A and B are shown apart, each in its own frame.
Chain A
Amino acid sequence: MENNSNKEQWVRDVMNSTSGMQKASPGEGLLANVMAQLDNAPTTRIIRFPVKQWAAAAILLLALNVGSVIYFTNRSSNQEKTNTGNPLAAEMQLNATYNY
């Protein structure tokens, strides 16, 4: 019986041992350490995507592609015409000569 009451008292004392406690403070160098770490942190360079240059390059490429498609389409249709116009040329496997 007495043992139980001693136990309860001890548990109560332990549970209440934080009463009146103060807050712990860090060492004085905490803020200085934080600032030093921030200063030493590697800086990240933000590389902006050159939108205008890329757009100009894309338009130029597109124009070149379209131009070459038109050019070669015309060329093959001319060749076809030549070939149809002269069956012998086809037989002789002659290609039309273009004056570049």
Chain B
Amino acid sequence: MAHYQQQVFNTAISLVQDHGMAEDIAQEVFITVYRSIAGFNEKASLSTWLYRIAVNKCLDHLRSKTRQKRSGIFTSLFHKDTGEIMFEPADFQHPGIQLEHKENARYLFAAIQVLPENQKTVFVLAHIEDLPQKEIAEIMNISVKAVESLLQRAKANLRKKLESYYDRRKKD
């Protein structure tokens, strides 16, 4: 059980980048699992099923946060049209990052935050959860080829965002 708690929480905190929200999502995931365990298809592994529920809940939370942001409650850290980092990245620190990488990881997570949904999900599952592409494809209900392509696009986008931030920081 502890293993699954960690799996769900780590995915949630990496996707939503908020400790409190990740805890809430983890709770919701386990309540959903408890209520719908009868409908669990044993062909899929329990871990894949949990990842799928967790990812869907995270994306729902992020969508509702975006709606709030649009209505002006939150101020974006990124340029509305280009998605470029406008200010210093948000103060999110993933608790599992090694001390010497903490500063760099802040920039990485800030850039991950502005990736499109699918690219963000694939990147988190591949690079933070360390899942093989086949399992990511099962979780997201897409082909392995699609996972591969999304991952490439995610990395290219991250590099582009980081490079443009670096250039602007040099200018300032």
Chain A contacts to B: CB under 8 angstroms: 3, 7, 10-11, 13-27, 30-31, 33-34, 37-38
What 1/0 mask marks residues of chain B from 20 to 47 whose CB sits below 8 Å from any chain A CB? Answer: 0011001100110010000000000000
What CA separation (Å) do A38 and B37 show in the bound complex? 14
Is the beta-carbon distance between A26 and B22 smaller than 8 angstroms?
yes
Is the beta-carbon distance between B166 and A7 smaller than 8 angstroms?
yes
Residue numbers in B under 8 Å from A13 (CB-CB) = 104
> Is the C-beta of B98 less than 8 angstroms from some C-beta in chain A?
yes
> Which listed residue (B6, B22, B23, B101) contacts A17, Cβ 8 A?
B101
Given A7-B167, A11-B166, decide whether A34 and B105 contact each other with a Cβ distance below 8 A. Answer: no
Q: Which residue of B lies closest to A26 (CB)?
A: B9
Residue numbers in A under 8 Å from B107 (CB-CB) = 14, 17
Chain B contacts to A: CB under 8 angstroms: 1-2, 5-7, 9-10, 13-14, 22-23, 26-27, 30-31, 34, 94-98, 101, 104-105, 107-108, 111, 127-128, 155, 158-159, 162-163, 166-167, 170
Is the beta-carbon distance between B5 and A30 smaller than 8 angstroms?
yes
What CA separation (Å) do A18 and B162 show in the bound complex? 15
CB<8 Å pairs between A and B, sample of 7 = A18-B127, A19-B98, A25-B6, A26-B9, A26-B22, A31-B5, A34-B30
Question: 8 new A-B pairs (CB below 8 Å) besides A17-B101, A27-B23, A34-B30?
Answer: A3-B170, A11-B159, A15-B108, A15-B159, A24-B94, A26-B23, A26-B26, A37-B27
Is the beta-carbon distance between B97 and A18 smaller than 8 angstroms?
yes
Residue numbers in B under 8 Å from A7 (CB-CB) = 163, 166-167
Is the beta-carbon distance between B10 and A23 smaller than 8 angstroms?
yes
Is the beta-carbon distance between B163 and A11 smaller than 8 angstroms?
yes
A91 → chain B, closest Cβ, in Å? 78
> Which listed residue (A21, A26, A33, A34) contacts B34, Cβ 8 A?
A34
A-B complex: 9 closest residue pairs judged by Cβ atoms: A17-B104, A22-B96, A26-B9, A17-B101, A17-B105, A23-B10, A24-B95, A14-B104, A21-B96
B136 → chain A, closest Cβ, in Å? 16
Q: Which residue of A lies closest to B170 (CB)?
A: A3
What CA separation (Å) do A16 and B162 show in the bound complex? 13
Is the beta-carbon distance between A25 and B5 smaller than 8 angstroms?
yes
A30 → chain B, closest Cβ, in Å? 6
Residue numbers in B under 8 Å from A11 (CB-CB) = 159, 162-163, 166
